[in-house]
Every structure is written in structure tokens, then in C-alpha cells.
């Protein structure tokens, strides 16, 4: 008997099958922990299931269960874990899931952990059809270009007669293009009694969940189908070729959504944006850009080309070019790159600049401050309007501990300087080029810390005799002497 619920009533449970070994992935990582758009497949499956706001969310684990369970504890603490001890088929997996539910009434929706493009809206539509048609079982189906490997859906008009697996299908049944996606809405009672009646009389010797359909029909229940127009949602991941293909498709869909929301993507083929990224209208993404994690980019900013940002916050009208940055903040109208490396803890203020071949780490850089080129700036606090000359090194590590360097507002550090932390340079101070600073520099002071220049005459002729260096020096001296002599002759 089916249990009819109101359209707004939550389903009793969603059971996600995630116990498979995924041997074709040939990976030490469990299949459902492989990622698309920055999320694991099981994380995507949980997000999809949560669209139904189920009373219970059950994830069935098996292979490498410790890794999968630990991940679920982080991303879905509301999920209940069920263990499939042996890989005895989809029917056994769902039976394992039901064992932790107890007696529930209403709908039980079954999905798979390796259908990463399945949308939450699709599950809502599936449940709506299931309720409207008062079905005992409703199967999510699709017509795919190549149905090889999928179970075929055998129909009697608008009802499903059975689902036949590839290995058990006749020649005529193999010609059927409509396939089973492996996603179902069940009446809880029909599912319980159907699971209890399963047997292993099939080519694989497994308990097929699809055999519940025949049991439901024999009990007088109606078995319907919800046909997906977007058939790609039905595709599963069994190997890394499929993983790459569906990852690219998911990325294409993410980019299309952002472009329709006002983001300019110059070359979608080389631009990758994770599902957790947030982009404002009028952002421009240039070729070779990869935005990952929880990166956010404000309006008017331009990112790329050839840039990777991981968990980075970018302000309005900022420009980030040929840069790798992680866990950093880039404020409004700031510029970064090319060839910059922003490590975690970097904070660049408004209108600030981090230039070519600059590496920063735990560096707070004030508004309007410039670190233009060829600098390592680690464990530093730079005030407003500071200028750091080319080739400056913030020597923050003594081999045991790391220390902080502070540079005050509107100070100037000359090129090729070394600031040996811990050291403090006051507001409005200057550091002469080539200095090694080991002590404090007061406000308004000029620090000069370098040896006095000494030129040793004749050194090359004594120590580098017979070299091209000696020949060049001799020629230059002779030319200078000739020029001096000519000048004296002109005066006479």
C-alpha cells in the first residue's frame, strides 16, 4: 500500500549507496572521495539529497569505510552511517541502509554516491511525480546515446514492468535506449517487503535492488518512471576517464551560470571555477584561471591570465595577473603580479601592489604600499604608503623560530636590503640600498648598514693576468689615456 503525503511533507529518508570498491578507478582513494569542482562525489551526493530535507540521511559505506566515514563526519555530521559488510549488490546495500532506520513510513529515496551531476531539483521532481501518481516505486530514467552497461527500462506504456541488467538482457532488450539511473523513490513499506523477498537468481549472483520493482507490481503497486531530459545527470563515474569528462561538464555548467549572472569568461575551455566560489557581476576571468575553494571576487576585478586562487578574497576593481595565491586577502583596487606567490596569511591593502617575482607569507601590507619586484616578504607588517625596493629580503627565520618585521607608514626601504627580524622601522624612515638592518630604525632616520667602498688598484693585472678581463681593463685604460692625451694636445 502506498502512503500519500502532502507536497510539502519531507521524505522519510534518503539512502545514498557509497560502499563500492571502485576498482576501475585504480586508486588508493575511495571512488566517492574523488573530486569534481572542488567537492568529493559523496559531498555532492549529500548536497543533492539535502534538497529534499529528509528526516533521515543514511550513507551506506563499505570499501575503505574509515576514510569515507571520517570525511562524512566533517562535511555531513547529520548523516547516519550504515555498513555493508560484503559487496552483495545494490539490494544488499539498501538493506544495510534500512537496518539503521528502524520502522519509517513515507518515501525512501535511494541515490548513489557516484552520480555527481544529479541535481537536487531532479530529486524534488522525482518525489513530486511519485506522490502525484501514488506509486509504490518511481524510477529515475534517461535516454542516453550509448546505454551500454546500464540496466534497461522495460515499459508497459507509462508503467515500468521491470529493469533488466546488461548481463541478463536479451538481444531485443539491449536495443532499449531508456536506462535506469540507479535513483528511486520508494514507498517505505514496499521497499521493506521487496528487499526481504530478494534472491540471487541472476548472472552476477547478487541482490538486485531493481527486483523490488517486480515484487511491488506483484503486490498490486504501481511502478512509474520520471524521465530525465538532462540525461547527463544519470551518468555515473566508474573510471578516471568518466571522472574527467563529468568534471569538465560540471565546470561548463558552473561557468554558464556565472556568465548568465554577469561574469565575463574570456575562454571557458581553460577556466576552472569550483562550486564553492562566489563571483560578483562585472568580474572578468582571463584564460588559464583556476578559482578554487571558497574564493570570492568582487565586482570589477580582473583575474588572470594563468592565475590560481585558493580560498582567496579579492576586492572591487583589483587586478591579479599570473599569480598563485592561497588563503590571502587582496583589497579593492590592489594589483598583484605577474609571477607573484601569495602564501597563507597575506593581506594586501587598498591600492597596494605586490609585483613581479614577489613571495609573501603572513604579510599584512597597508593601503597604498608597494612591494614591486624580486622580494621575499614573510612575517611582516607594513604600514600605509611604504615602498620596498627590488631584491629586499625579510629574513624572518633564524633556523629555530620565525620573527616579525614591522615597517612604519610612508617609509622607504632601498633595493637589495636585508631586514633581519625581529626588527622595527619607524614611520617616515629610510633604509639605504644594500643595507643589512639588524636593529631598530627610528622615525625620520636614515639607516645605512654597509661596508665603506674600497677600490684596489691593479688587482686584475696581478690576479687575473692573461684573461679577457685583463684585456678589457687594459684596453679601457689605454683608451682613457689616449683621450686624456688628445685633450691635452687640443689645449696646446
* Cβ 281 vs Cβ 262: under 8 Å: yes
Instruction: Give the residue carrying C-alpha cell 582567496.
Output: 312
Crossing angle of the two packed helices 65-75 and 41-50, in degrees rounded to 10: 50
**DSSP run (H or E) holding 46:** helix 41-50
- Cβ-in-10-Å burial (0-12, 13-18, 19+) of 275 comes to middle
**DSSP run (H or E) holding 16:** strand 13-18
Instruction: Provide the phi-psi class of 317: left if phi over 0, else alpha when psi is between -120 and 50, else beta.
Output: left
* Cβ 129 vs Cβ 228: under 8 Å: no
What contacts 24+ positions apart, CB below 8 Å, involve 271-279?
Answer: 271/304, 273/37, 274/37, 274/38, 274/39, 275/37, 275/38, 275/39, 275/44, 275/250, 276/38, 276/39
What cell numbers appear for 367 in the block? 593601503
What cell numbers appear for 289 in the block? 584561471
In 134-222, at which residue ranges do the beta strands (DSSP E only) sit? 137-143, 152-156, 159-164, 178-187
| Of residues 1, 73, 64, 76, the one with CA closest to residue 34 | 64
Distance spanning both ends of the chain, measured CA to CA:
125
Instruction: Provide the phi-psi class of 432: left if phi over 0, else alpha when psi is between -120 and 50, else beta.
Output: beta
Q: Where are the alpha helices (DSSP H) in 230-361?
A: 240-260
Q: Which residues of 219-241 are buried (b: 16+ CB within 10 A; e: fewer)?
A: eebbbbbbebeebebbbbbbeee
226 is catalytic: no
Please give the Cα distance from 226 to 257 (Å, whole number). Answer: 25
Just list the catalytic residues.
373
Amino acid at each position: 500500500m502506498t502512503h500519500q503525503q502532502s507536497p510539502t511533507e519531507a521524505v522519510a529518508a534518503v539512502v545514498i549507496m557509497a560502499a563500492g570498491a571502485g576498482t576501475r578507478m585504480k586508486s588508493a582513494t575511495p571512488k566517492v572521495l574523488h573530486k569534481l569542482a572542488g567537492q568529493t562525489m559523496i559531498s555532492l551526493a549529500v548536497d543533492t539529497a539535502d534538497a529534499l530535507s529528509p528526516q533521515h540521511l543514511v550513507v551506506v559505506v563499505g570499501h575503505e569505510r574509515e576514510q569515507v566515514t571520517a570525511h562524512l563526519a566533517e562535511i555531513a555530521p547529520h548523516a547516519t552511517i550504515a555498513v555493508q559488510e560484503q559487496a552483495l549488490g545494490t539490494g544488499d546495500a539498501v538493506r544495510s541502509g534500512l537496518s539503521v532506520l528502524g520502522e519509517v513510513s513515507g518515501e525512501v529515496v535511494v541515490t548513489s554516491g557516484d552520480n555527481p551531476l544529479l541535481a537536487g531539483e531532479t530529486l524534488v521532481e522525482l518525489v513530486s511525480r511519485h506522490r502525484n501518481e501514488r506509486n509504490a516505486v518511481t524510477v529515475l530514467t534517461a535516454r542516453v546515446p550509448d546505454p551500454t552497461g546500464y540496466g534497461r527500462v522495460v515499459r508497459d506504456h507509462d508503467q515500468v514492468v521491470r529493469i533488466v541488467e546488461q548481463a541478463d538482457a536479451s538481444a531485443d532488450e539491449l536495443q532499449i535506449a531508456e536506462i535506469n539511473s540507479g535513483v528511486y523513490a520508494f514507498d517505505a513499506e514496499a521497499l521493506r517487503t521487496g528487499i526481504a523477498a530478494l534472491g540471487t537468481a541472476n548472472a552476477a549472483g547478487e541482490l538486485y535492488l531493481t527486483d523490488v520493482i517486480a515484487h511491488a507490481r506483484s503486490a498490486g503497486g504501481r511502478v512509474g518512471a520520471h524521465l530525465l531530459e538532462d540525461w547527463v545527470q544519470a551518468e555515473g563515474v566508474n573510471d578516471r576517464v568518466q571522472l574527467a569528462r563529468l568534471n569538465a561538464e560540471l565546470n561548463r555548467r558552473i561557468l554558464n551560470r556565472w556568465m548568465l549572472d554577469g561574469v565575463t569568461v574570456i575562454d571557458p575551455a581553460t577556466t576552472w571555477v569550483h562550486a564553492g566560489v562566489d563571483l560578483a557581476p562585472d568580474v572578468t576571468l582571463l584564460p588559464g584561471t583556476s578559482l578554487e575553494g571558497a574564493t570570492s571576487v568582487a565586482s570589477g576585478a580582473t583575474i588572470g591570465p594563468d592565475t590560481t586562487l585558493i580560498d582567496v578574497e579579492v576586492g572591487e576593481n583589483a587586478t591579479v595577473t599570473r599569480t598563485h595565491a592561497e588563503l590571502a586577502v587582496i583589497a579593492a583596487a590592489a594589483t598583484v603580479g605577474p609571477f607573484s606567490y601569495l602564501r597563507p596569511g597575506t593581506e594586501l591593502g587598498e591600492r597596494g601592489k605586490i609585483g613581479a617575482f614577489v613571495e609573501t607569507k603572513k604579510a599584512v601590507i597597508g593601503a597604498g604600499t608597494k612591494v614591486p619586484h624580486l622580494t621575499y616578504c614573510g612575517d611582516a607588517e607594513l604600514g600605509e604608503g611604504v615602498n620596498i625596493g627590488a631584491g629586499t629580503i625579510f629574513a624572518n627565520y633564524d633556523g629555530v623560530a620565525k620573527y616579525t618585521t614591522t615597517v612604519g607608514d610612508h617609509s622607504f626601504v632601498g633595493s637589495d636590503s636585508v631586514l633581519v627580524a625581529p626588527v622595527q622601522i619607524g614611520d617616515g624612515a629610510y633604509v639605504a640600498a644594500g643595507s643589512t638592518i639588524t636593529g631598530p630604525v627610528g622615525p625620520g632616520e636614515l639607516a645605512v648598514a654597509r661596508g665603506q667602498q674600497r677600490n684596489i688598484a691593479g688587482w686584475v693585472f696581478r690576479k687575473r693576468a692573461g684573461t679577457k678581463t685583463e684585456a678589457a681593463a687594459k684596453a679601457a685604460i689605454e683608451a682613457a689615456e689616449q683621450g686624456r692625451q688628445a685633450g691635452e694636445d687640443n689645449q696646446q
